[in-house]
Structures are given as C-alpha cells and as structure tokens.
C-alpha cells in the first residue's frame, strides 16, 4: 500500500515500504499525516530495514540510527531504519521527514519550528525556542472570530509559482512521548496563504513590533535550523554546506515577502489581538 502527499506548490511523494516493518512505518505515518492511499507514482519515499539499493551516485544523510538515501536525478528516497517500537519508533518517523524537508528546501521553502494558527483563512506562524509558550499560545487562542490553532510545534512553508508562500502543518512529535497525547493526527496536505511570522518572547507588556528584513531572515533561518539543519550528518560535507546556503537564501526571500514581527506575550494576555493588526 502506498500513500500520497501533495503540497500547495505541487511537490508530491508516494510513501510506502518494502518490508513488514517498512510498511508499518508508511501506514503509521499516513495515519498521523492524514494521507490517502495512492498509486505508486514517482518520486517515492520507501521505508525499509534492509539496504537493497546501490549507493552509487546517491546522497546519504544519517540521523541517529536511520539513514536516508536520495537519488539526485529522480528525487527517490530510501529510509533505512532498524526495527523499533514505542518512543523510538516515533523518533525514527520524525527523523525520516528529512526526505520531505530536503526537497522543500530545494524548491524555495523551509520547515520552521513554530506554532501555526489561522485567522479568517490566513496562516500565521509564532516562532520561539522550545518551552517558551508556543503550545500555551495555541491552547489559549479563542475558538471564535475566525481563530484556529492548527499545529503547535512545526510547520512547512512552501514557495508557490507566483512567488507567494503557503504553509502546511507538521506533527508535534513530542505528543507521542506522552501517555495521553492531546493530538495524534494533522491534515498535512491542507494549507493556507502565509500572512505573517511572529517571533515570540514572554513579556510583561504585550506588543508586536516589525523587524527589518535582515533580522527577519536571521530569525527565520534560526527557526529552520532548529528543525532540520543541525540534526543530520550527511556523508558528503558539501551537501550540508549547500543545504545551509540554500536554506539561508530561502529565509532571505521569505523575509522579503512576508511581514515579520517581534511579539511580546503575557501568558494571561490576549496576544492574538496583535496578530493580523501588526
């Protein structure tokens, strides 16, 4: 069984497995990301416990116990991972999304460490370091007046053909390390136009202050690096250098197109009134 993933900019994958455990990985990932069955149309992401592919001419990235091989000509990916269960199983699925992140970066987008909220059909990102209140901001967002919390840890920004940007939710993988997770599924294929990025800090006074494009690019790049740039060791150091350079150029382009703000938040305040009015 294969499952299809298509993003707002037209990038697509079919996801499957060629071993019993590999197929289990594909099925579970599809459930988490709400993906429907699909025909195995290339490019594909194939999960396997065994290394059956010819490594010649392929790029490789290693993250902890998994390896991901990429065919640069076809965009085919093979995720090679050992059998595991429990928390380690979800950690491997999380790491395997680099097969998606890498191609998104190549096409002008970025994965971002942030909360993702909606207001009246537009998407807004609230970026901050871990443990500073992103999830709390999502929980406190009113479920009225066009507001909706979509994801609270990561989002995927993609560049469209007209130069604008859309944003997709990504799973909160830490939820699977809890006994009673608040959410276990995200509609990853659904997207909204990206209208603003807010870099949050806790503050006695609530405020939204615009930041310049240079500072915005630096902050966006840092929020991307938290997700993907620092976690994987490529066999070819040149691939890592190119990936970082491309991500930086993408961050610059996003900051030139999308308004960016510093957002001061009181955890008992009404920060959302500053968003969409910044």
Residue range 185-219, pLDDT digits in tens: 999 999 999 999 999 998 899 999 999 999 999 99
Mean pLDDT for 53-78 is: 81
Of residues 142 and 267, the one with the higher pLDDT is 142
User: What is the C-alpha separation between 87 and 90, in angstroms, rounded?
Assistant: 5
pLDDT for residue 223: 93
Asked whether the predicted pLDDT for residue 144 surpasses 90, the reply is no
The Cβ of residue 252 has, within 10 Å, a number of other Cβ atoms equal to 17
Q: Residue 239 — very low, low, confident or very high, per pLDDT cuts 50/70/90?
A: confident
* Residue 60 tokens, joined: 């490789």
Classify residue 161 by its DSSP letter.
T
pLDDT at 53: 60
- pLDDT score recorded for residue 160: 98
d(CA 24, CA 31): 11
Secondary structure class of 29 (helix, strand, coil): helix
CA–chain centroid gap for 195, Å, is 17
d(CA 218, CA 226): 13
Task: Using a cut of 0.85, tell me whether the model's pTM lies above it.
Answer: yes
User: Of 261, 113, 140, whose CA–CA distance to 199 is shortest?
Assistant: 261
Q: Distance between CA 197 and CA 155 in Å, rounded?
A: 12
pLDDT of residue 278 exceeding 60: no
pLDDT at 11: 96
**The pLDDT value given to residue 214:** 96
- C-alpha 34/C-alpha 42 separation (Å) is 20
Can you give the pLDDT at residue 194?
A: 98
Average pLDDT over every residue of 94-114: 94
User: Would you place residue 137 in the very low, low, confident or very high pLDDT band (cuts 50, 70, 90)?
Assistant: confident
| pLDDT at position 57 | 73
Average pLDDT value for residue range 34-59: 84
pLDDT of 80 strictly over 80: yes
C-alpha to C-alpha distance for 100 and 67, rounded to whole angstroms = 14
Q: What whole-number distance in Å separates Cα of residue 155 and Cα of residue 170? A: 5
- Looking at residue 135, its pLDDT comes to 86
Which SS3 state, helix, strand or coil, does residue 4 take? strand
Q: Computed over its alpha carbons, how large is the radius of gyration of the chain?
A: 19
Q: What percent of the chain has pLDDT over 70?
A: 95
| Separation of alpha carbons 225 and 249, rounded Å | 13
130 versus 146: the higher-pLDDT residue is 146
- The tokens describing 40, both together, are 């195995």
Q: Provide the pLDDT for residue 55.
A: 67
132: pLDDT confidence band, cut at 50, 70 and 90? confident
Q: How confident is the model at residue 35 (pLDDT cuts 50, 70, 90)?
A: very high
């Amino acid at each position: 069984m294969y499952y299809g993933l298509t993003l707002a900019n037209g990038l697509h994958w079919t996801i499957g497995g060629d071993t019993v455990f590999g197929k289990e990985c594909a099925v579970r990932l599809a459930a988490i990301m709400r993906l429907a069955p699909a025909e195995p149309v290339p490019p594909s992401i194939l999960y396997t416990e065994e290394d059956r592919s010819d490594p010649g001419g392929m790029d490789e990235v290693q993250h902890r116990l998994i390896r991901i091989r990429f065919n640069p000509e076809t965009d085919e990916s093979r995720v090679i991972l050992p059998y595991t269960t429990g928390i380690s199983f979800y950690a491997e699925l999380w790491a395997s999304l680099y097969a998606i992140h890498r191609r998104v970066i190549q096409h002008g987008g970025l994965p971002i460490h942030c909360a993702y909220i909606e207001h009246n059909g537009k998407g807004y990102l609230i970026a901050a370091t871990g443990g500073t209140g992103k999830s709390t901001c999502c929980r406190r967002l009113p479920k009225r007046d066009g507001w909706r919390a979509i994801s609270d840890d990561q989002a995927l920004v993609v560049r469209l053909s007209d130069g604008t940007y859309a944003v997709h939710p990504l799973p909160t993988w830490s939820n699977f390390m809890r006994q009673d997770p608040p959410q276990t599924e995200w509609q990853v294929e659904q997207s909204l136009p990206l209208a603003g990025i807010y870099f949050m800090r806790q503050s006695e006074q609530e405020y939204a202050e615009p930041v310049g494009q240079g500072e915005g690019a630096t902050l966006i790049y840092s929020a991307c690096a938290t997700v993907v740039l620092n976690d994987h060791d490529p066999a070819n150091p040149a691939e890592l250098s190119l990936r970082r350079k491309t991500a930086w150029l993408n961050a610059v382009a996003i900051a030139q197109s999308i308004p960016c703000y510093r957002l001061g938040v009181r955890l008992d305040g009404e920060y959302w009134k500053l968003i969409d009015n910044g």
